[in-house]
Structure 1
Amino acid sequence: MLAVENIHTYYGNIQSLKGVSISVKEGEICTLIGSNGAGKTTLLRTIQGLLRPREGRIFFNQKPIESLSTEQIVNLGISQSPEGRLIFPKMSVLENLEMGAFSRRDRLNIKSDIEKILTLFPRLRERITQKAGTMSGGEQQMLAMGRALMARPKLLLLDEPSMGLAPILVNQIFDIIQDINQEGMTILLVEQNARKALKIAKTGYVLQTGKVVKSGSAKELQSDPEVRRIYLGEE
């Protein structure tokens, strides 16, 4: 579904991605793991069209997208729940979900899609008229994911969905990610919690200072001695 080929992305004169190549198959969860500053968020932002690569190609369902606008990429079927959630704090839960469907033309189906999101995230139903900025971190994360799903994506990019959450909420978020995937959604997951990410993923990549240093099935990465030592905290 997604093929990233030899991508080089810069912030000004500082190179963040140095020839990154990854692929994501339809229907799978693929995870990107790595330390802070490895380039994981930069890669998602480049795929989404928020950053322009200086070199390389990005293909979505065999179509090149590296020169398209973010809106065009969303309309093709790629949506992101960003790092830090970035919900609209002064808008209600309902208004945030409606914003997720901003670029859609099938206005008649939006109401039924909101109902699906509220079924997936029952906590949001309880908060439907509440201002998003007054909710807990876990509730805001659910809202960010729900807002991304309102675009009806074929590929969902999740950037650090467990960041700053209590362990019980982390488990809940990962259960929901698996539920979304089992309904057919392809997911590219960036996650600091490498143990949990590799547990639910089919494939994975390890990014280190802007380069892919390891890749393979999630099981292969889980059993790799270096991954176990650096990212899973095991001797």
Structure 2
Amino acid sequence: MLEIKDLHTYYGNIHALKGISLEVEQGEVVSLIGSNGAGKTTTLRTIQGLLKPRQGKILFEGNSLESLSAQAIVRLGISQSPEGRLIFPRMTVQENLEMGAFSRRDAVGIKSDLEKALHLFPRLRERINQKGGTLSGGEQQMLAIARAMMARPRLLLLDEPSMGLAPMLVSQIFSIIRDINIQGTTILLVEQNARMALTVSHRGYVLQTGEIVLTGTAKDLQSNETVRKAYLGET
């Protein structure tokens, strides 16, 4: 579904991605794990068209993405729940969800997907008329994921969905991520909580200072000594 070949992305003169290559097959959950500054968010922002690569290819279902706008990429079937949630704090929960469907014109389908989102996140149904900025951190994360799902993506990009959440909410969010995948959405997941990320993933890539240093099945990475010491907190 997604193929990245020799991708180089810069912030000014800073070489953030140094020739990474990865693949995501239809129906998979694939994790990108790594420490802060490794290039995980940069990878997602480049796929989404928010950053333009200087070199390399990004292919989604055979379509080249490098020259497309972020809006065009959403219309192709990729949406993102960004790091830090970035909901619209002065809009209600319902208005935030409707903003996720900005590129769609199928009113009946939007209404149906809104109901699906509220079924997936019942807490949001209870807060439907509440301003986004008054929600708890966990509720805002639910809203960010639900808003991304309103675009009806075939590929969902999730950037640090567990950031700042209590352990009980982290488990809940990852359970929902698994459900979204089971229902048919392919997911590329960026997450510092490597243990939880690999629990819900089929495969993973380890990023280190802009380069992929390890790749394998989730099970293989969980048993890899380097990963266990560096990212799973084991000695």
The 2-side partners of 1:154 and 1:226 are apart by 33
The 1-side partners of 2:161 and 2:39 are apart by 17
- Report how far residue 111 of structure 1 moved: 1.2
- Report how far residue 107 of structure 1 moved: 2.2
- Report how far residue 62 of structure 1 moved: 1.3
Indicate the residue corresponding to 1:168 in structure 2: 168
The 2-side partners of 1:124 and 1:174 are apart by 17
The 2-side partners of 1:113 and 1:185 are apart by 14
Structure 1 residue ranges (4+ consecutive) displaced by more than 4 angstroms after TM superposition: none
The 2-side partners of 1:189 and 1:234 are apart by 22
Indicate the residue corresponding to 2:177 in structure 1: 177
Q: Secondary structure at the match of 2:59?
A: strand
The 1-side partners of 2:2 and 2:20 are apart by 13
Indicate the residue corresponding to 1:69 in structure 2: 69
Q: Secondary structure at the match of 1:108?
A: helix
What code does the residue aligned with 1:22 have? L
The 2-side partners of 1:107 and 1:185 are apart by 21
What code does the residue aligned with 1:167 have? P
The 1-side partners of 2:73 and 2:204 are apart by 23
Question: Pairwise mapping of residues 27-46 of structure 1 onto structure 2 (< 5 A)?
Answer: 27-46=27-46
Q: Secondary structure at the match of 1:85?
A: coil
The 1-side partners of 2:114 and 2:196 are apart by 28
The 2-side partners of 1:66 and 1:158 are apart by 20
Identity rate of aligned residues, in percent?
Answer: 70
What code does the residue aligned with 1:61 have? E
- Relative to the length of structure 1, the TM-score reads 0.99
Q: Pairwise CA RMSD of aligned residues?
A: 0.5
Indicate the residue corresponding to 1:85 in structure 2: 85
- Report how far residue 108 of structure 1 moved: 2.5
The 2-side partners of 1:47 and 1:109 are apart by 26
Q: Secondary structure at the match of 2:157?
A: strand
How many corresponding residue pairs?
235
Indicate the residue corresponding to 1:138 in structure 2: 138
- Report how far residue 65 of structure 1 moved: 1.0
Deviations 1:201-229, CA, capped at 9 Å, x for gaps:
00000000000000011111111100000
The 2-side partners of 1:234 and 1:143 are apart by 33
Q: Secondary structure at the match of 2:143?
A: helix
Indicate the residue corresponding to 1:230 in structure 2: 230
Indicate the residue corresponding to 1:159 in structure 2: 159
Q: Secondary structure at the match of 1:94?
A: helix
Q: Secondary structure at the match of 1:32?
A: strand
Indicate the residue corresponding to 1:189 in structure 2: 189
Indicate the residue corresponding to 1:117 in structure 2: 117
The 2-side partners of 1:176 and 1:200 are apart by 10
Deviations 1:17-39, CA, capped at 9 Å, x for gaps:
00011100000100000000000
